[in-house]
Amino acid sequence: MKRVVVALTALSTTVAVLLAPLALGAAWYRRRRRDWTVAATFGVALAVQLALDRSAGPAPPRSPNSAADIPEVFGVRVLGSIAFGERWLGDVWSSLHFWLIPVAILLLAIVVLLAVRDASRERRWFAVAGLGFAFVLFVVPVWIRGTGAMHLSGESLNINAPRYVIAPIAVAFSALLVVVDASRRRWLRYVVVAQAVLVIAICFRMPSARSDAEPWSAEVDHAAQQCRDQPSLTRVRLPISPGPPWTVVVPCERVR
């Protein structure tokens, strides 16, 4: 099962390469055959993913980078989402703007301080490592893509590129749960779980920047017509949301 999980992880995203040092380190530290097998499976699957990335079409233009965007966006979009939930985050931003960051940190710090006293040393270090990895998991892809797309300013919250905050939120919140789970204050565990369930339920279906995109059926019909008009054409490129230069290549045999 472990080999299946690590293979699917590596094949789902190239960002999984950030886990490679952890996989190798764990195998080297434990020096067990099954751990080396898991690390080797992860490496092979990651190599396949990297090869697929190299065969993909050119990436769209990058937006400009600014180091100041990193802590601001991480504080608002990741820590703020954990504290307030994605659905209410825009309202909180409209009221507090960048004060949202210290408020979110304060709320999370209160939870940690109430729980950390009962946590073992291993749990504490796991939580610190989890938060650090969540930050790295956010920084690397955002910097590669360009921080300009997520720059924060104005009255309305910039909700672009939510795909870059999902994994960091999951990792950071998991690190928090590891500490809270050790607390002798049962009410604290109930509060944290209830807050998580409420946020998940409220934010389960939310609009995004692509929610108002035109139906894809018209683009598919246009592509099918192209393939019929040009019998020698084997593939056709379909525009997709949010618009140019975003496209997807589809074989003509799938749309004719």
| Chain segment 34-89, per-residue pLDDT in tens | 878 888 888 888 888 888 777 766 666 778 889 999 999 999 999 999 999 888 99
255 phi and psi angles, rounded to 5 deg: -120, -10
d(CA 62, CA 50): 20
Pairing of strands 235-239, 247-251: antiparallel
Roughly how many angstroms between the first and final C-alpha of the chain, as a whole number? 40
Q: What is the mean pLDDT of residues 204-223?
A: 73
Pick from 226, 241, 235: nearest CA to 254: 235
Q: What is the pTM of this model?
A: 0.78
d(CA 100, CA 91) in angstroms, rounded, equals: 10
CA dist., res. 9 & res. 65, Å (int): 28
Tokens standing for residue 124:
């504490």
pLDDT at position 72, please? 94
Q: What is the pLDDT of residues 159-209, one digit of tens each?
A: 888 888 988 999 999 999 999 999 999 999 999 999 999 988 888 877 766
Q: What is the mean pLDDT of residues 234-255?
A: 78
Q: How far apart are CA 78 and CA 73, in angstroms?
A: 7
Residue 240 near residue 205 (C-beta atoms within 8 A): no
Residue 214's pLDDT is what? 64
Give the mean pLDDT of 24-42: 82
pLDDT above 80 (res 119): yes
Q: Which of 139, 162, 161, 169 is nearest to 65 (CA)?
A: 139
Residue 126, CB half-sphere, CA atoms under 13 Å: how many? Answer: 17
Q: Which residues pair with 137 in a beta bridge?
A: none
Cβ proximity of 159 and 208 under 8 Å? yes
